[in-house]
Amino acid sequence: MLVPGEHAMVSLLGPGDELLRLVENAFSATIHVRGNEITISGSPTESQQVAGLFGELVTLLERGQHLDRAMVKQTIRMTRAREEERPSEVLSASLITHRGRTIRPKTLGQKRYLDALRENTVTFGIGPAGTGKTYLAMGAAVQALRAKQVNRLILTRPAVEAGERLGFLPGTLHEKIDPYLKPLWDALHDMMEAEELIAHVDHGTIEVAPLAYMRGRAQPVSEPVLTPDGWRPIGELQPGDEVIGSDGTPTEVLGTFPQGVRDIYRVRSQDGASTRATADHLWTVLTSSDRRRSKPPRVLETREMVGRLRAAHAHRYELPLVTAPVTFPSHEVPMDPYALGLLLGDGCLTGSTTPSFATGDPELAEALGDVLDGVTVRHRAGPNYILSRTGGGRGGVIVENPVTGWLRELGLWGTPSHTKFVPEPYLHNDADVRIAVLQGLFDADGGPVTQRGRTCRIQYTTTSEQLRDDVIYLIRSLGGVAYTRVRKAAGRAPGRANGRDVSYRHDAHVLDVRLPAGLAPFRLARKRERYEQHGGGRPARFITAIEPDGAEEAVCIRVAAADSLYVTEDFVVTHNTLNDAFIVLDEAQNTTAEQMKMFLTRIGFNSKAVVTGDVSQVDLPSGKRSGLKVVREILDGIEGVAFATLGSGDVVRHHIVQRIVEAYEAYDEAAEAEADADGPGS
């Protein structure tokens, strides 16, 4: 065969013909080199293999590869094994390039490992030291981050050498974990400039932590989480229970993971909502820059946002709201919900007189009469209307007024204005009922407020603290936000009624409300038309404060929702699953079966996980079985999960390492054979 070019022949033979001697020692065929011509003589099979080998080496040279002893040995190994993959394809595959140096697979096993990694969600790389398991996984992780396939890297190892008791070691957390994570840091430094790496770590794009710390993202066990049946402490939830997701529908709890006592922070928003979580709890947030550029939300930990809550005097981090009204079970209610809202706003429910209603809009009195069966709304004088039983009159058997009966059933009869509330059957009911109650309240005691150059907001006023809280609950359950302030009664100039001063006896609670598009807050024509004319704007919730709030037992949950979000206290939407992440678990042979399950069940949507380890080097305490050994028995054959096994032929360190690995493999095989020969119990 002819080799084109003198330089190609020099590279092909190697310095002092050392590469040629490798080929000659590997085959029994005779090889003669004269100028640019190589002559091969021997058996047809051997001659064909050697010719094919030189053809592959020439192809590697043509693709810009530098031939060395390791590459030629791998090419010989693949040629003799008659693998389907061509050595030139395997050894020229590129992963990433940094500082002019290309990171690529150096063996067929490594190439198959990378192929499995690209094609599967979870890949287990199992093999001895020196086979490039961790290094190639880190290269694939950096490649995915740069290609924007993921938005964060999570790199973790079990710190078994310290018994997971890092708290007893001196120094800061990073000083404690650095010895166990040094191989990961070294790999990152090989693939990134120092400035790029520091920026990623500072922004939380790259997180490096031991397994015991990575499992966090929790809330205190007492923190309420919204379920279809109302609020429940997160610590009481079990797999199979349902919670409310960000789309307002129920989603199943897939797992619960106790976290022990953790430092807790309270996260507050500008509309008065708040909830509590650990420092590493995850939040889906959107910045103004993200919104301008139509970029997706980012996922940040609590601690990453501390001290960075404002940008150019504006709130930096916007939290998601429920994207649709929360779905609660539907059930019958005694009184029409719109009528209830009107009476809570402008009705007299004190019980001292027949139920009455006061309004300057006859349209509302007419609407009230239309929805109250068996009730007639009679105009009395001025704005006052009486709610009488239809067909009722003087004399005969006394029959209870239907409105009185309904209000008694709901616990509202006898309540003055400052103690009114929305009964429980209306708070936890389907969206149509909740919207109708709000429409009645807003038609009676609310209205659209317009400002030049701005969209319209809704303002609502009540003297009842409980009714204020119930209205806020309804608004949040529909995907809106409400800002509240108080107008104090003390010191306010009295109002006028019938020519006399009337002092204010109770503080007024004023709500400024934003509701999502498509939700009509008014039925009263004049208010509805004004609201539609100016537009309702967009509800938004921003983080305004993150404050330490003690230490408590904490737990994290995983839910089945596609976005991994669930609704916690004050309808705050949050999550704790690793979405859009590339996760590398190194030295996985030192995880227990329980730790491996915890890790695998934390993987979120659009994420990849690579688990690497050497099952021959388990450092777990006696009696503990390696999670890396157990997991193959459990997950082998599951779609999206791949097991890539590397052997001594994939060792790419000093050639002595390969010989050591082979010697140990031979020793282990002999020991197993001897044990089998001796029989059980030997």
- How, if at all, do strands 641-645 and 122-126 pair? parallel
Same domain, 248 and 380: no
Q: Which pLDDT belongs to residue 173? A: 40
Looking at residue 544, the DSSP 8-state letter turns out to be E
Q: Is residue 168 part of a domain?
A: no
Looking at residue 603, the DSSP 8-state letter turns out to be B
Among 244, 676, 153, smallest CA distance to 477 is for: 244
Q: Rounded CA gap, 636 and 122, in Å?
A: 11
pLDDT < 70: residue spans in the chain: 5-7, 90, 100, 159-181, 203-204, 209-210, 212-217, 392-398, 576-579, 604-605, 652-659, 661-662, 665, 676, 678-682
Same domain, 296 and 348: no
Q: Is residue 194 part of a domain?
A: no
Residue 565 burial (10 A CB sphere; 0-12, 13-18, 19+): buried
Q: Rounded CA gap, 527 and 439, in Å?
A: 11
How crowded is residue 360: how many other Cβ atoms within 10 Å of its Cβ?
Answer: 9
Same domain, 294 and 258: yes
400 token code pair? 């209870």
172 token code pair? 């800061």
Q: Rounded CA gap, 128 and 613, in Å?
A: 8
What b/e readout covers 120-139, taking b as 16+ CB neighbours within 10 angstroms?
Answer: bebbbbbbbebbbbbbbbbb
CA dist 394 → 352, 353, 369, 375, 403 (Å):
19, 16, 21, 16, 18
How crowded is residue 5: how many other Cβ atoms within 10 Å of its Cβ?
Answer: 13
Same domain, 118 and 135: yes
Q: Rounded CA gap, 234 and 568, in Å?
A: 9
Q: Is residue 257 part of a domain?
A: yes
Q: Rounded CA gap, 480 and 351, in Å?
A: 34
Residues whose CB falls within 8 Å of the CB of residue 24, separated by 6 or more in sequence, listed in order: 31
3-state secondary structure of 37: strand
Q: Is residue 205 part of a domain?
A: no
Block residue for tokens 């095989």? 669
Q: What is the pTM of this model?
A: 0.69
3-state secondary structure of 509: strand
Same domain, 284 and 359: no
Domain that holds residue 620: 94-162+581-682
Same domain, 567 and 467: no
Block residue for tokens 């003589």? 41
Q: Rounded CA gap, 671 and 444, in Å?
A: 87
Same domain, 568 and 604: no
How crowded is residue 529: how many other Cβ atoms within 10 Å of its Cβ?
Answer: 12
Same domain, 359 and 482: yes
Q: Is residue 332 part of a domain?
A: no
Looking at residue 657, the DSSP 8-state letter turns out to be H
What's the pLDDT tens digit per position in 649-679? 777 665 666 667 667 767 777 777 777 676 6
The CATH number that applies at residue 342 is: 3.10.28.10
Looking at residue 296, the DSSP 8-state letter turns out to be P
What's the pLDDT tens digit per position in 62-101? 777 778 777 788 788 777 777 777 877 767 777 777 776 7
Block residue for tokens 């009714």? 467
Q: Is residue 297 part of a domain?
A: yes
Residues whose CB falls within 8 Å of the CB of residue 485, separated by 6 or more in sequence, listed in order: 509, 510, 512
Same domain, 273 and 238: yes
Q: Rounded CA gap, 661 and 80, in Å?
A: 21
The CATH number that applies at residue 646 is: 3.40.50.300
At which of 575, 600, 634 does a domain end? 575
How crowded is residue 639: how many other Cβ atoms within 10 Å of its Cβ?
Answer: 7
Same domain, 299 and 414: no
State how many domains the chain has: 4
The CATH number that applies at residue 54 is: 3.30.1370
Element (H, E) at 343: helix 337-346
Among 467, 470, 489, smallest CA distance to 349 is for: 467
Q: Which pLDDT belongs to residue 658? A: 61
- The per-residue DSSP string of 468-501 comes to HHHHHHHHHHTT-EEEEEEE-STTPPPEEETTEE
Q: Rounded CA gap, 120 and 639, in Å?
A: 8
The contacts found for 574-577 with CB under 8 angstroms, 24 or more apart, are 574/275, 574/277, 574/281, 574/282, 574/283, 574/284, 574/319, 575/282, 575/283, 575/284, 576/217, 576/218, 576/219, 576/281, 576/282, 577/217, 577/282, 577/602, 577/603, 577/604, 577/605
Q: Is residue 343 part of a domain?
A: yes
Q: Which pLDDT belongs to residue 177? A: 43
Task: Count CA within 13 A, CB hemisphere, residue 514.
Answer: 13
Same domain, 509 and 636: no
Same domain, 85 and 108: no
Q: Which pLDDT belongs to residue 290? A: 84
Q: Is residue 329 part of a domain?
A: no
The CATH number that applies at residue 311 is: 2.170.16.10
